[in-house]
Structure 1
Amino acid sequence: MSTMSAPRPRPTPSAPAADSPVTLDRRDGPFGEVVLRERGEHFEIIANGCFLMDTSDGRSERLLVDAALAALPAGRTGPSVLIGGLGVGFSLARAAEEERWERIVVVEREQAIVDWHLGGPLGRVSGPALADPRTTVLRADLVAHLRTSTERYDALCLDIDNGPDWTVTEDNGSLYSPAGLAHCHQRLTPGGVLAVWSAQPSPAFEQALRNAGFSGVTTEEVAVARGVPDVVHLALRGA
C-alpha cells in the first residue's frame, strides 16, 4: 500500500473568483452523476462530485499519447492505440494529429460525455479527430473491455481517473490491481506500451507494474502551478 498523501484532482482553471461555473448538462447514469460545466472560456467535467479535467491546459493528456508512441520499438509500422476515457478530447485529438497511428480506438462508458463531443461544445476539441476514419468510439466500461476483449493494441493510453490512488468510482480500482494490470498486459502486442495518467507520482504503482511483468517502467512529469506534477506512468510488454 502506498504511504503517499491522497492525490489531488486536476485543478480548476485559474479564473477570477467572480467567474463562477455554469452547469450546461447534468446526467445520472449507471456509474453515477456526470456534469459538464462552463467556466469562462473553458469546460469542466465533474464525475460523482470529483473534478476530473478541463480544457484549460491539456499538456499531460497530450503527453499520454506522445510518450506512448515514442516508447514503441523503432521501425514498428501501422501501430494501433486504445485510449481509455474520452474526457475533454485532448488525447484523442493528439492521436489523430499523428499520421503514424493506423487505428485509434476510444473506450468511453458515459453516454453523456460522448454526446458532449458529438453534438455539444466539446466537439471544438475533438471534432476533426472523431471524423477521422481511423477513429472508432466504443461505448463500454474500460475495465470490462480490457477483461473481456480479445483484441490487442500496440499502445494503451489510460486516463479514466485522477490516478491509481484516486479513482472516480470504486470499481475503477480494479484496473490498477494485479488482475487489472494482467488484463492490460494481455491486451498489448509484444513490445507494446501501457501509459497511465496520474495527478501525482506513485512509486507504489510503478512497483505494481513491475510485479505485473512489465519492463522499462518510467514516469514522465508535467509541471503544474499547484506544485505536484501531473505524470504519465509508462511500462512495456516484453517482445
Structure 2
Amino acid sequence: MPNSAVPPLVPTADDAPVTLDRRTGPYGEVVLRQRGAHYEIIANGCFLMDTSDGRSERLLVRAAFAELGERDRPGLLIGGLGVGFSLAEAAAEPGWGRITVVEREPAVLDWHREGPLSALSGAALADPRTELVEADLVAHLRQAAHDGPRYDALCLDIDNGPDWTVTDDNSSLYSPAGLAACRAALTPGGILAVWSARPSSAFEKSLAKAGFCRVRTDEIPVARGVPDVVHFAARPA
C-alpha cells in the first residue's frame, strides 16, 4: 500500500474498531485502528498497544533516567516507536541528551510523521535531540557496539515482551546474542530497561547470565489482567 496520510479521528462506538490503515510490511501485516477515542496497533493479527494508558511505557523511560543518577546529558536509545508514549516522555525530560528511536516498520513511522499518531509525538519529533532510525533493532545495536556511538540507556518496547513475541525474529532480541548486543551497546554503568506485557523470571535469569547486574522487575497495574512490567538491568561500571 502506498504511504499516504491517515484519516483524522472520527467518532465511533467504543466497541466498534475502525481500520484506518492496513499494510503488508517487511515483517508481516500491520494495522492502525481507531476504537472510540483511542488508536490501536495490530501486528499479524495480534494486538500490540493502544493509546488508552501509557503509564508503563512512560515509566520505562522515566525510571531509566533516574537509575543513571547524575550523568550529564545521557544518550538514550528507544527501541520501538509504538504509539509514541516513550518518546514523548523522553522529550519532556530536558536532562536527556540525544534521543534515538529505532523502528523497523515503515508504516509506524508514517503514522507518526503524517498520520493521527502525530498528535502524541509531533512535539517530540520536532525536538532537535530526536532522531528516527528505520532499522532492525538488533542490527542497530550490533553496529553501535562496533562503531558507536554507545548509549547510556536502552529503553526497549519490542513486541509483547520476552515470553510472547508476535513475529519469530523478534525473539532474537531476548536471546543470549541479543542481550550481548544490548550490553555491548551500553556505556559502562548504562541501563537496560525492557517493557513486557507480563513478568518473566526466566528473562531475569537471562539478564544475569548475559553479564548484567542490578537486575530487577517493576510491576505497573493495569485495568485488567496481569500487570505490565519493566525489567531493569545495568552494565557493570
Residue 19 of structure 2 contacts residue 31 of structure 2 at CA under 8 Å; is this kept in 1? yes
Q: C-alpha offsets along residues 33-58 of structure 1, whole Å, 9 cap, x if unaligned?
A: 00000001000000111100000000
User: Does the 8 Å CA contact 2:57/2:195 hold for their aligned counterparts?
Assistant: yes
Q: Secondary structure at the match of 1:45?
A: strand
Runs (5+) with no aligned partner, structure 2: 1-11
Q: Residue 152 of structure 2 contacts residue 191 of structure 2 at CA under 8 Å; is this kept in 1?
A: yes
Other structure's SS at 1:179 match: helix
Instruction: State whether structure 2 residue 134 is matched by structure 1 residue 139.
Output: yes
**TM-score normalised to the size of structure 1?**
0.91
**1:194 is matched by which residue type in structure 2?**
L
AA at the equivalent of 2:195? W
Q: Separation in 2 of the partners of 1:39 and 1:17?
A: 7
Counterpart pick for 1:202 among 200, 203, 220: 200
What percentage of residue pairs aligned between the two structures are identical? 72
What is the correspondence of 1:53-202 to structure 2 with a 5 Å cutoff?
53-72=49-68, 74-149=69-144, 150-151=147-148, 152-202=150-200
Specify the SS of the correspondent of 1:114: helix
Distance 2:175 2:105 in 1: 22
Aligned counterparts of 2:139 and 2:42: Cα–Cα separation in 1: 22
After superposition, the C-alpha distances for 1:130-178 in whole angstroms (9 at most, x for unaligned) are 0000000001011221123332100000001101001121111111111
Alignment partner of 2:17 out of 17, 21, 30: 21
CA displacement, residues 57-113 of structure 1 (integer Å, 9 cap, x when unaligned): 0000000001111111x3210101000000000000000000000110000011110
Partner of 1:12: none
Per-residue CA deviations over 1:180-236 (Å, capped at 9, x if unaligned) read 100000000001000000011100000000000000001111101223110000000
Name the aligned partner's letter for residue 167 of structure 2.
Answer: T
Give aligned pairs, total: 223
State the structure with bigger RCO (CA 8 A, min sep 6), 1 or 2.
1
User: Following the alignment from structure 1 to structure 2, what is the Cα–Cα distance between the partners of residues 163 and 44?
Assistant: 17
Please give the secondary structure, in 1, of the residue aligned with 2:115. Answer: coil
Code of the residue aligned with 1:196 in structure 2: it is: V
1:43 aligns with 2:46: no
Q: Which runs of 4+ in 1 moved over 3 A?
A: none
Letter in 2 for 1:44: E
What's the Cα RMSD here? 1.2
Whole-Å separation in 2 of the counterparts to 1:105 and 1:175: 18
- The 1:38/1:17 distance shift into structure 2, 3 A limit, reads closer
Who is 2:5 aligned against? none
Shift of 1:18: 6.1
DSSP 3-state at the match of 2:58:
helix
C-alpha distance in 2 between matches for 1:59 and 1:67 = 12
* Counterpart-to-counterpart distance in 1, 2:13 and 2:225: 21
